[in-house]
Amino acid sequence: TPDAPTATAPLPPPHAPLLLRALRGEQSLPRPPVWLMRQAGRYMSIFRDFSDKYTFRERSENAGIACELSLQPLRAFGVDAVILFSDILTPLPALGFAFDIQRGRGPVIAEPVRCAADVDTRLRRLESSAQAAFALPFVGEALRELQATLADAPDRPALLGFIGAPFTLAAYLVEGESGKSGGQRLKRMIYSVEGQRLFHRLLSSITESLAEYAVYQIDSGADAVQLFDSWAHHLPPAHYPQLSLQYSMRLATAVHERRPDVPLILYANGSCGKMRCVREALRAAGAVRPQPLACLGLDWKTNMSAARRLLGRDMALQGNLDPMLLEVGERAHLKWELEQCVRSAAGGAHIVNLGHGVTQSTPESMVAALCEYVQELEYAEWYR
Ligand code: CP3
């Protein structure tokens, strides 16, 4: 049974961005906010003008270009959140690991973690948010510029910062790239006694660095921060609490203690088997209100109404339309899917999103249609 509402955090004023109001658990919004994971991407023709000319790192590490790319989906679709154009791997060079993103291949870490010394001596740590600012100046520049631009926008959208969850980033550091070995290197590490100990040292260190990085993003203007645990579905349920959630919670708690007004979203891939763990972890975090995690992002395989039942009305839920609905679905069918999704999230705050990133072959017109449908939605009695 859902918990009774107990939130005592002050509600933001009515002119605050819709997304922030939803994240604070406000129940009487005119409609749910909408944004899409990976909303800035090659599916947009205006984006390709830049991706044909500049490499990913040039685009994401030049504050001017990053701002422009972050704003494209806002201008095109009127989404309720602008997410910084960057990548979960962006902080890795500051931790001692260079990376590149190659077309058709995805992210590649040239010299990934291959031995204990890579964790115990080569891996660097960001000791403070000032150190994060020094190592990654373009992130703060872009966020400050975006915050200044958005301040003047009508129906001001929220500005989202983001980081990789410690587990997902550690998995990339060990694998070196996505997909190639199907997670074999990662599994070899966690299914051995010494390897698992090393993996925990890696996780502890990057958790601390990522907390500093998140605080830096907040102090540069991010209204909320999303943790992407995109690799969490690679973990069997028995290992998820210790190898992933524990560190995401440690990170969320550390950031929340220092910047309590900034809501945090955890996107957990494979969320369907993880909701109970999240609920238990939040219970264990105690009676702190607002809780360190304001919102759980669900993947598209997860049953939204089951999530609502399990997590109660205090937690905002984000998601979880199938990205393929936008890629290959019929426009006339989209509205029905959206309404089903919104209905099944009833009883608490909901942020409309996909259950994973927008795919590269998604027609822009489908993203436009989705955003229009959400903007036309009016929460009627039956939604609540
Ligand atoms: O959401 C947004 O619009 C903001 C930008 C954003 C990017 N990556 C830009 C990007 C965000 C939030 C991310 C997060 C990210 N990066 C995740 C978590 C989300 C998820 O998909 O699970 C992950 C796992 C990564 C790692 C990564 N970076 C992958 C798997 C890829 C794909 C490679 C490919 O060929 O598509 C990237 C590259 C990347 N990051 C692109 C973009 C727009 C595409 C390549 C390009 O633009 O050159």
Whether residue 335 lies inside any domain: the answer is no
CATH number of the domain where residue 222 is located: 3.20.20.210
At position 129, the amino acid (one-letter code) is S
Check if 51 has its Cβ closer than 6 Å to any atom of ligand 1: yes
Atom of ligand 1 nearest to the CA of 40: 3
pLDDT for 154: 78
- Torsion sign across C-alpha atoms 371, 372, 375, 378: negative
Q: What ipTM describes this predicted complex?
A: 0.92
Report which protein residue has its CA nearest ligand 1's atom 10: 87
Report which protein residue has its CA nearest ligand 1's atom 13: 87
Written as six digits, the tokens of 76 are: 């095109």
Give the integer Cα–Cα distance in Å for 59 and 162. 17
Whether residue 333 lies inside any domain: the answer is no
Q: Kindly give, in sequence order, each residue whose CB lies less than 8 Å from that of residue 171, ignoring residues fewer than 6 positions away.
A: 183, 186, 231, 234
Are 161 and 222 contacting, i.e. CB atoms less than 8 angstroms apart? yes
- Torsion sign across C-alpha atoms 211, 217, 178, 295: positive
Whether residue 334 lies inside any domain: the answer is no
Check if 107 has its Cβ closer than 6 Å to any atom of ligand 1: yes
pLDDT for 7: 47
Report which protein residue has its CA nearest ligand 1's atom 30: 106
Domain region containing 152 = 30-305
pLDDT for 2: 43
Whether residue 371 lies inside any domain: the answer is no
Give the integer Cα–Cα distance in Å for 68 and 50. 10
Written as six digits, the tokens of 290 are: 């607002």
- What's the whole-model pTM score? 0.94
Give the integer Cα–Cα distance in Å for 216 and 126. 11
Whether residue 359 lies inside any domain: the answer is no
Whether residue 378 lies inside any domain: the answer is no
Give the integer Cα–Cα distance in Å for 240 and 242. 6
pLDDT for 1: 39
Mutate to test the pocket of ligand 1, among 44, 62, 88 (most ligand atoms within 8 A of CB): 88
Whether residue 93 lies inside any domain: the answer is yes
Whether residue 343 lies inside any domain: the answer is no
Domain count, the chain: 1
Pairing of strands 295-298, 316-321: parallel
Check if 178 has its Cβ closer than 6 Å to any atom of ligand 1: yes
Show pLDDT as tens, one digit a residue, over the chain (384 residues): 344 444 445 555 657 999 999 999 887 899 999 999 999 999 999 999 999 999 999 999 999 999 999 999 999 999 999 999 999 999 999 999 999 999 888 999 999 999 999 999 999 999 999 999 999 999 999 999 999 999 988 789 999 999 999 999 999 999 999 876 779 999 999 999 999 999 999 999 999 999 999 999 999 999 999 999 999 999 999 999 999 999 999 999 999 999 999 999 999 999 998 999 999 998 888 766 678 999 999 999 999 999 999 999 999 999 999 999 999 999 999 999 999 999 999 999 999 999 999 999 999 999 999 999 999 998 765 455
